[in-house]
A and B are shown apart, each in its own frame.
Chain A
Amino acid sequence: MLDLGYNAALVAVGATLLGVAAGVTGTFLFLRKRALVSDAISHATLPGVALAFMVMVALGGDGRSLPGLLLGSAMSAWAGLLAVSWLSRRTRLAEDAAIGAVLSVFFGFGIVLLTVIQSLNAGRQAGLEGFLLGSTAGMLYTDALVIVVGGALALALVLLLRRPMLIVTFDPEYAAATGRDVTRIDLAMMGLVLAVTVVGLKIVGLILIVALLIIPPAAARFWTDRADRVVLLSGALGGIAGLVGTLLSASAPNLPTGPIIVLVAFALFATGFFLSPHRGILAAALRYRHYQRQVHVRQGLLALAQGQPIYERLTLRLLRRAGHARPDGVATDQGRAAAAKSLLDERRWQLLRADPDFEAAAALYDGLRPIESVLTADQIALIDRTLTPEALV
């Protein structure tokens, strides 16, 4: 086992839980197609951090107390969130424009405040710019505790609200028609995103937290078609990214924790993107190639069965390779048998698809599937009764 040291162990625990909370919460945001709202929320934390610092110093405090800074950031992020939702609901601005406006104005204001702090209190400036990209070097036990408790709380609330949130993400109109307050559920969803964002400021920073909210659900979506599993898998992937990212960054001096966590999350995304047997691009390309070849063979056999010439070179090559045709395009004995079977299958399918009683089976029609794989022998016999005699020859 790697000897992490006290600081890295604290960061690892915090980052793992943050990853799980962000992955789970982010899934709802991702499925609601409002992923970028989180970017507005995270950038809107900055003025709050700066103002909280100023207030705490003015009151004679340290100014660097993490709970105080997080409280300030949560308040200004909430203001930013309300601004985005007010602009997009009450004005003619689309949500993307509202996000862009709020994000840049809040962030700009935050940077101005940071500069002011720097000039006023050069000595005590306390590295507030660490909240931009996260800084884990000086993390204290109490800091880790704040992150763990905050993350666990957000996670518990997401699990409590998962059902109404899923209904709203899939079908907001229906949710409203069953008496749910969609605006409030949306605001709760964004409030949870806000909580995760604030909790994650210390570790990954406000610029990159959006990655932890969006990349894990996008990665999880490659592997499953069920929303509840996307939620769980996304949490798991987020947790893995947090843990592995911390370990990697601790393995060499001066590696930034937050950005490494994001890169690990991306590696997990890329894995699904390329390798998922279901939605990955490699599998899709292979499936397409396989399907294309099957279609060529099928069309070639149907052409042979009906005495038509074969025009495409690929078709002929595939038929030849399968032993169905000679190089000059004439069918072999095996080819003639396969061709007759294909033609019969196709005619049976046409009858099946015209019959409403076989709707579920008809939906499986892809031009290739043998009829025996969807119907029993009795059902085929039933269909064959309506086949014209010449088709059976």
Chain B
Amino acid sequence: MAVSPPDREDPMTQLELASQNGQTVTDTSLDAAALAIRGLTVSYGEKPAVFSVDATFPKGVMSAIIGPNGAGKSTLLKAALGIVKPISGTVRVMGQPIAEQMHTIAYVPQRASVDWDFPARVIDVVLMGLSRELGLLRRTRKAHTDKAMSCLTRVGMQDFAHRQIGQLSGGQQQRVFLARALAQEAHVYLLDEPFAGVDAATEKAIINVLKSLRDEGKTVIAVHHDLATIPEYFDHVFLINTTRVAEGPVDTAFTQDNLQTAYGGRLAAGQINNLAV
């Protein structure tokens, strides 16, 4: 890999630093970021899924994590949150160690990760987002169900509150998960493929909610698989293929070169030309 041009906006990764002949760069972006990941390596067995990744997601914008299948997109998110145990790495949220900031983070897992035949109604799932507030013993009161209902209304699912979760379509399940995250009143929202396999109405509903969160000053970070909608939906991208490929504002980082590097032969040249900004 060639030495990075000096005017590059994103901070260098440890891998790149290693090839800079001892020249060090002071990393000031760590504390300004909503989510800053440094030197994160995750491995299943001895083949790393994510290797020595540095990532910096700025506050108050919508960021997409993109990359080919098996590039470690979801793993990066899960390891940052501690769902998967990394081999190494530091994660800071709003400049603090993530362990002290868990209450400011809301996570929306892939909907396929749970069994939807679980005995629960839609509102019960959303109420799980309030469990920190409820603690161990406090009873669920009207104030709590009201709050859960308002989160459901925000995703357009208020009429489904008392339905069994097994009766929902895939898109509706995804919106229930988003409502549960909204109930946490977090500052940083992390979503794992929120648009995977959902209908057009759901995609629109979700993107509207995410944009309104950003407009309130919240940070949204989503693993995303549809390159065509990147410029329309997101402000910032992070390209990964086991190692970091590039990151930055969509205008400067979502380029043909970077997509070519991340996806290699998996995207035809013509496709890339159509997609990149």
Whether A177 contacts B119 by the Cβ 8 Å rule is: no
Whether A177 contacts B81 by the Cβ 8 Å rule is: yes
CA distance A207 to B190 in the complex (A): 46
* CB of A284 within 8 Å of the partner chain: no
Whether B156 contacts A359 by the Cβ 8 Å rule is: yes
Counting contact residues on chain A (CB < 8 A from B), the size range is 20 to 34
Whether B131 contacts A174 by the Cβ 8 Å rule is: no
Chain A 316-336 near chain B by CB (<8 Å), digits 1 or 0: 000000000000000000000
* CB of A164 within 8 Å of the partner chain: yes
Whether B120 contacts A226 by the Cβ 8 Å rule is: yes
Among A171, A224, A227, A360, the one with the most B-chain Cβ atoms within 10 Å of its Cβ is A171
Whether A179 contacts B107 by the Cβ 8 Å rule is: no
Within 8 A of A (CB), among B157-207: 159-160, 164, 166-167, 169, 172, 180, 184, 190, 201
- A373: which B residues are within 8 A, CB to CB? none
Q: Is chain A's interface secondary structure helix, strand, loop, or mixed overall? A: helix
Residue of A178, A227, A359, A363 near B119 (CB, 8 A) is: A227
Q: Which residue from chain B places its CB closest to the CB of A166 in the assembled complex?
A: B128
Whether A178 contacts B184 by the Cβ 8 Å rule is: yes
Contacts A164-B131, A176-B82 given; indicate if A171 touches B120 (C-beta within 8 A): no
Q: Which residue from chain B places its CB closest to the CB of A169 in the assembled complex?
A: B118
- Which of the 9-residue segments B17-25, B132-140, B216-224 touches chain A? B132-140
CA distance A328 to B105 in the complex (A): 68
CA distance A359 to B115 in the complex (A): 24
Q: How far is the CB of A109 from chain B (nearest CB, A)?
A: 32
CA distance A164 to B172 in the complex (A): 25
Whether B201 contacts A230 by the Cβ 8 Å rule is: no
* CB of B102 within 8 Å of the partner chain: yes
* CB of A389 within 8 Å of the partner chain: no
* CB of B83 within 8 Å of the partner chain: yes
- B82: which A residues are within 8 A, CB to CB? 176-177, 179
Residue of A178, A356, A360 near B131 (CB, 8 A) is: A178
Q: How far is the CB of A178 from chain B (nearest CB, A)?
A: 6
Whether B124 contacts A227 by the Cβ 8 Å rule is: yes
- A160: which B residues are within 8 A, CB to CB? 136-137
Residue of A31, A178, A179, A226 near B124 (CB, 8 A) is: A226
Q: Which residue from chain B places its CB closest to the CB of A163 in the assembled complex?
A: B131
Whether B128 contacts A170 by the Cβ 8 Å rule is: yes
CA distance A363 to B122 in the complex (A): 15
Among B78, B105, B114, B190, the one with the most A-chain Cβ atoms within 10 Å of its Cβ is B114
Whether A177 contacts B83 by the Cβ 8 Å rule is: yes
Interface residues of A (CB under 8 A from B): 31, 33, 160-161, 163-164, 166-167, 169-171, 173-174, 176-179, 221, 224-227, 229-230, 356, 359-360, 363
* A–B complex contacts, Cβ < 8 Å, 15 sampled: A160-B137, A164-B131, A164-B136, A167-B131, A170-B118, A174-B109, A177-B102, A177-B105, A221-B119, A225-B121, A225-B164, A226-B120, A359-B156, A359-B201, A363-B160
17 extra interface residue pairs, beta carbon distance < 8 Å, beyond A226-B121, A227-B119: A31-B118, A31-B119, A161-B136, A167-B131, A170-B118, A174-B107, A174-B128, A177-B107, A178-B102, A178-B131, A225-B166, A229-B119, A230-B119, A359-B159, A359-B201, A363-B167, A363-B172
